[in-house]
């Protein structure tokens, strides 16, 4: 039906669709987006950043940060690129 309206060819099973990697297993399929997150972190130069645990003590009085701030534009771009990206199993 679509062949009558569009030029199409069979390219076999899809491995990636819209940034989502597709893996077949014995139960069905697994959708993975970790490669997209890695690509985004590399793009913005944060791939080699070390993960940290941020603990919060409610007794501590918070004070204004006097260090160098992160570019708001870059923060928004990274956050927007990573939004809704997660692994489904």
- Write down the pLDDT at residue 80: 79
Residue 77 lies in a domain: yes
The tally of domains found in the chain comes to 1
Residue 79 lies in a domain: yes
Residue 60 lies in a domain: no
Residue 5 lies in a domain: no
Residue 21 lies in a domain: yes
Query: Pseudo-torsion of CA 14, 15, 17, 20, nearest 10°?
Result: 150
Parent domain of 25: 14-48+69-89
> Residues 17-76: pLDDT tens digits?
887 889 999 999 999 988 888 888 899 898 898 888 878 788 888 888 787 777 888 888
Residue 62 lies in a domain: no
Write the DSSP assignment of 10-44 as a string of letters.
Answer: ---S-SEETTEEEEEETTEEEEE-HHHHHHHHHHT
Place of tokens 């771009």: 77
**What's the pTM?**
0.45
Residue 25 lies in a domain: yes
> Residues 34-49: pLDDT tens digits?
888 888 889 989 889 8
Residue 83 lies in a domain: yes
């Amino acid at each position: 039906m679509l062949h009558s309206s569009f030029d199409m060819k069979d390219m076999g099973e899809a491995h990636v669709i819209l940034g989502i990697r597709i893996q077949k297993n014995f139960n069905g399929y697994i959708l993975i987006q970790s490669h997209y997150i890695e690509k985004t972190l590399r793009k913005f130069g944060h791939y080699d950043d070390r993960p940290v645990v941020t603990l919060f003590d409610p007794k501590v009085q918070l004070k204004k940060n006097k260090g160098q701030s992160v570019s708001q534009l870059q923060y928004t771009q990274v956050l927007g690129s990573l939004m809704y990206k997660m692994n489904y199993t």
